[in-house]
Amino acid sequence: MVGVYDSGVGGLSVWKELLALMPWQDYVYVADSANCPYGEKSPGFIAGRAAAVARFLIDSGADVVVVACNTATAAAISCLRQAFPVPFVGMEPAVKPAAELSRTGVVGVLATANTFRGRLYRDTVVRFASDIKVVEVVGRGLVEAVEKGETPSGLIRSYVDGMTSQGADVIVLGCTHFPFLEKEISVAAGPDVRILNPAPAVARQTQRVLDRISAAHRVHVPPSSVFYSTGDVSVLRRLAMETDPSLAQDAFKTINI
């Protein structure tokens, strides 16, 4: 079983790729929607929430936990790997492939404030993008919009313009909520700008981890996906059922963690 954790519904963009790659797997998803967004909360608070959710996922039978949240990965994944016996897969900033793809030598990264402050992101930029210009834009308001099922076109355009006006020809989606706005981001950026969503790479890494721990084929027939939220489940249900219309209504539950 694969456990998936996000501050809210954004991690569904990763679950979607996991499901496409490994449709035979069981999945249990936790959205900490009561505390979303994480973008400017303290690292200590996020680490505490991550530990509580990880414990729940492992107790539910997860063989691997995917921290499908860039902010939680930055704040907590090192502590999670030390505290729990199962492997954790986090979100990697897609700065390296962006730097390799850029023709202008300018890359835009759209993320939360805490992701930009995180050591993982800073180290990645130093290692792989020291010879290019990285334009960092904090996407304030976008996570909240996705959580409400809204598309804030004006905000999106202002953030995208902040990157493309400086020459960015690749934009990295540095938050798992942002793929739900990818179409609008792409329209605002124009046809000559590449949009990078790291979720498919995270799904492939999860499959490699499952293969390594010999858990890839410990599955039930038929496979199941169950979704928990610490807040409202309505947007979680709608977005998940857009990916898999066969999901039952009772697959979505509220939980107090």
Q: Find the helix packing angle between 12-21 and 234-243, rounded to 10°.
A: 30
Instruction: Tell me if residue 28 falls in helix, strand or coil.
Output: strand
Backbone angles phi, psi at 107, to 5 degrees: -125, 135
CA distance 52 to 217: 27
- Which of 14, 67, 75, 175 is labelled catalytic? 175
- Which of 9, 54, 69, 216 is labelled catalytic? 69
- To the query of whether residue 69 is one of the catalytic residues in this protein, the response is yes
Instruction: Tell me if residue 10 falls in helix, strand or coil.
Output: coil
Pick from 5, 33, 2: which is nearest to 18 by CA?
2
- To the query of whether residue 175 is one of the catalytic residues in this protein, the response is yes
Pick from 7, 72, 73: which is nearest to 34 by CA?
7
Residues annotated as catalytic (active site), given as ranges = 69, 175
